[in-house]
Amino acid sequence: MISNMAFGAKSAEAQVLSETSFSTTVASSRSSSRCSLLALGKGELSMTMKNSFLHFFGDEDEELVPLRRVASAPGRLAVEYHKQWPSKANREEELAATQAAIAEAHDNGHCKPCHYFAFKADSCRRGSECMFCHHCSQDQVLERRMHKSKASSVARGVARSVAIAKQNRRKTEDNYKTLESSIVTLGHNTAMMQPMPTLLHPPARRMMRMSPAGMVRVSAPGRHNGATFPPRDFQ
């Protein structure tokens, strides 16, 4: 009896010790796993237990932005870019040649003046890169503008005179054509109104049917009454 009670107390003590060790093991494993997650840089994580499975909600559960297809530029574009834009030295040479050509055109009177340089208070902002002439003064620009307006007005007057002359010539040609058609129409109408000519006058036809003796007494056409045909000398 006493031995049975001692055995039961020992078994109960052993069960309590086993449960305590199991809970300690689980707690240590949970703490170690949490420490490992923190060491990985995950930070504080929210988790729930469902059917003995742990569900973690981290940043990787967020919706990812869909990837887009990206096409990089070919390498030849970079080479073409450098070929298209000359170097600074070449650019300065081109500007110098352009300014020399503008100066030569100014000396010959064929340049195009820069109105910004001549009239604006802040002058031309492009400076030496401007493609217009900076050698023309304000008076020269005004004088050239006046001559240009006069030349354009003269050209407009000449063009107007030429147009009027063409219009008058066209009207004259139309009048000639109308007069010619009127003359043709008048001649045709006159010919239609005249009677058809006869070969012989009716009295002449009667004389052809008469005898020579009777012809002495008949008056010839166009003569006075009493005149005989043929004449008496002819008899």
Q: Which residue has the higher pLDDT, 37 or 76?
A: 76
Between 209 and 53, the higher pLDDT residue: 53
The answer to which of 29-33, 60-64, 168-172 has the lowest mean pLDDT is 29-33
pLDDT tens profile 114-173: 888 888 888 888 888 888 888 888 888 888 888 888 888 888 888 888 899 888 888 888
**Which whole number is the average pLDDT over 203-228?**
52
SS3 label, residue 60:
helix
Q: Mark 151-187 as b/e (b = at least 16 C-beta within 10 Å).
A: eeeeeeeeeeeeeeeeeeeeeeeeeeeeeeeeeeeee
Burial of 229 (0-12, 13-18, 19+ CB in 10 A): middle
Q: Considering only the C-alpha atoms of the chain, give the largest distance between any 2 of them, rounded to a whole number of Å.
A: 218
pTM: 0.32
Q: Specify the pairing of strand 53-57 against strand 46-50.
A: antiparallel
For residue 41, give both structure tokens: 């840089």
